[in-house]
């Protein structure tokens, strides 16, 4: 991997949003090759430079002897996906009792729940998140009211919100629940709060959102707050999908 801005590296590693990472750098908490760097635009190479936050090494790719770890977690509602909390809100990473640096592969918003993947291996994580590979993410979504055929068509064909087009890959009705309805929604892109924004736009706010699948990896029988290691076959299936 070539050189990239320090703030981008921190954000890509799951530390926080790009803007928050810039603030962290300016606060003097980040070192590159054991020297404090205060410039968010400072260029680093993850495979060459030693990058640390609060004296904790971030780019473990420098350590070729490390054990590769892949974890599936059921993130409960009201947990942050970021590695660091900037308030009293708890972070999902704190639920994983593993004393190794792990970062999230993508995010779930604070009010959503379900499957999150954590790893210490950057290559596969980047491939999973890269739009080029179109990795499917499946959600169980409870909408207010019942979606009309026109609303379903708009969800698939796309909605322009804030100058960006949002669309789902597939949406399938599951069941009614009093005055609300449940759908399976599949995405191949991961814009922030995408399904929630689309629900608001079509007049059917999202009342509950649960991610149940990332590519071939399923949430399965995990309960909120529980986690498990991925099996060898699951890891292989991820590698195979991102090698196409």
How many whole angstroms separate alpha carbon 198 and alpha carbon 167?
Answer: 8
How many whole angstroms separate alpha carbon 51 and alpha carbon 24?
Answer: 13
Partnered with residue 128 across adjacent β-strands are none
Residue 242: helix, strand or coil by DSSP?
Answer: coil
Check if the beta carbon of residue 226 is closer than 8 Å to that of residue 74.
Answer: yes
Q: Is 109 a residue of the active site?
A: yes
Output the DSSP codes for 187-209.
Answer: ESS--TTHHHHHHHHTT--EEEE
Enter the tokens of residue 210.
Answer: 């649960």
Residues 6+ apart with CB under 8 A from 225: 74, 76, 95
Residues 6+ apart with CB under 8 A from 199: 141, 143, 144, 205, 206
Q: How many CB atoms neighbour CB 27 within 10 A?
A: 9
Check if the beta carbon of residue 195 is closer than 8 Å to that of residue 206.
Answer: yes
Task: Choose the catalytic residue: 99, 109, 149, 240.
Answer: 109
Residues 6+ apart with CB under 8 A from 116: 72, 73, 74, 75, 81, 92, 104, 105, 106, 107, 108, 211
Active site residues: 109
């Amino acid at each position: 991997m070539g050189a990239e801005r320090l703030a981008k590296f921190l954000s890509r590693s799951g530390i926080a949003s790009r803007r928050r990472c810039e603030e962290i750098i300016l606060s003097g908490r980040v070192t590159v090759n054991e020297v404090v760097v205060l410039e968010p635009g400072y260029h680093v190479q993850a495979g060459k430079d030693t990058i640390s936050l609060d004296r904790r090494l971030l780019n473990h790719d420098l350590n070729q002897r490390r054990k590769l770890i892949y974890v599936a977690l059921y993130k409960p509602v009201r947990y942050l996906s970021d590695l660091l909390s900037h308030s009293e809100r708890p972070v999902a990473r704190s639920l994983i009792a593993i004393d190794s640096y792990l970062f999230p592969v993508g995010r779930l918003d604070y009010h959503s729940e379900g499957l999150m993947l954590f790893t210490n291996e950057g290559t596969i994580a980047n491939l999973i998140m890269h739009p080029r590979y179109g990795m499917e993410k499946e959600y169980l979504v409870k909408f207010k009211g019942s979606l009309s055929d026109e609303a379903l068509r708009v969800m698939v064909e796309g909605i322009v919100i804030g100058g960006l087009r949002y669309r789902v890959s597939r949406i399938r009705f599951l069941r009614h629940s009093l005055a609300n309805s449940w759908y399976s929604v599949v995405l191949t892109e991961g814009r922030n709060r995408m399904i929630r924004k689309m629900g608001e736009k079509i007049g059917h706010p999202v009342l509950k959102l649960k991610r149940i699948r990332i590519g071939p990896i399923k949430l399965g029988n995990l309960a909120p707050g529980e986690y498990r290691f991925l099996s060898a076959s699951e890891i292989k299936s991820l590698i195979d999908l991102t090698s196409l």
